[in-house]
Amino acid sequence: MSKQDILQRLADTVLKGDVEGCRKAAQDAIAAKMPAYTAIMEGCKKGMDIVSGKYEKGEMFVPEILCSAEAMYAALEVLRPYLETGKAEQAGTVVIGVVEGDMHDIGKNLVRMLLEGSGYNVIDLGRDVQLDKFIQEAREKKADVIAASTLMTTTLSSMEDLMKMLGDQGVRNQFKVLIGGAATNVAFAEQIGADAWGADASQAVKIAGELIKQRRAGK
């Protein structure tokens, strides 16, 4: 089987949410001496990109994305031990979490899955994350982007506090800040001084990529 066939199988099985098929394709990639990073970026990512596009067009929904993510993680489990150190960090590092006071994390999890599928290094802080923790982790991991989410209007103020805290600590310009979640909108992002707002998981991943490029270009 050619390397191209293996990559296509990775993409197809991710798209179909075929966990066993995807794991097998990843094993075949390793057996064929394919670099793990290539398998992720040209196989899994390709599949997740299609998933993401279909979600954006309303052709796929959250249950189907979760199935695809499950398949992708099965492949990543096989591929990660072979991944050259620092490859994901080279693509970009995103510290992600749901802000303090909010336990709703399904949207954040979708973004994380799509980011990982796109080959980025993702530090998932989970839900109900203390604001300090976002900054501390971003500094330690030399993150490009802090991605913060909230579903509830009650916790919108936490986002505002996060921005203020970044300013108070003198690190606002070190990171790009992306916000999202049902309670947020573009006007709110502008009001609090975030760099960008993601309307949904698919858009958030595209924007994160742009923000990483901007940060690395010193913009």
Does 50 contact other proteins by CB under 8 A? no
Contact 156, 127 (CB under 8 A): no
Q: Is 118 helix (H, G, I), strand (E, B) or coil?
A: coil
Selected from 56, 89, 200, 210, the binder of other proteins by CB under 8 A is 200
Does 182 contact other proteins by CB under 8 A? yes
- Of 156 and 178, which CB lies nearer to other proteins in the complex structure? 156
Site residue total, other proteins (CB under 8 A): 33
By C-alpha distance, which of 147, 129, 124, 138 is closest to 208? 147
Please state, in angstroms and rounded to a whole number, the distance separating the CA atoms of residues 84 and 99. 32
Does 183 contact other proteins by CB under 8 A? yes
By C-alpha distance, which of 204, 88, 100 is closest to 156? 100
CB of 86 to other proteins, least distance (A): 30
Does 169 contact other proteins by CB under 8 A? no
Please state, in angstroms and rounded to a whole number, the distance separating the CA atoms of residues 124 and 103. 14
Lookup result for tokens 């995103």 = 94
Torsion, Cα 27 29 31 32, to 10 degrees, reads 160
Does 152 contact other proteins by CB under 8 A? yes
Does 188 contact other proteins by CB under 8 A? yes
Selected from 70, 136, 141, 165, the binder of other proteins by CB under 8 A is 70
CB of 68 to other proteins, least distance (A): 10
- Of 1 and 103, which CB lies nearer to other proteins in the complex structure? 103
Token couple for 210:
């742009």
The enclosing H or E element of 178 equals strand 176-180
Selected from 191, 193, 213, 216, the binder of other proteins by CB under 8 A is 191
Task: Give, as one character, the DSSP assignment of residue 149.
Answer: E
Selected from 27, 38, 136, 157, the binder of other proteins by CB under 8 A is 157
Does 165 contact other proteins by CB under 8 A? no
Please state, in angstroms and rounded to a whole number, the distance separating the CA atoms of residues 29 and 2. 10
Helix axes 62-79, 45-56, angle to 10 degrees: 170
Does 89 contact other proteins by CB under 8 A? no
Segment contacting other proteins (CB under 8 A): 5-13, 80-88, 153-161, 210-218? 153-161
What is the contact surface with other proteins in residues (CB under 8 A)? 17, 58, 61-64, 66-67, 70, 100-104, 106, 109, 128, 152-158, 182-185, 187-188, 191, 199-200
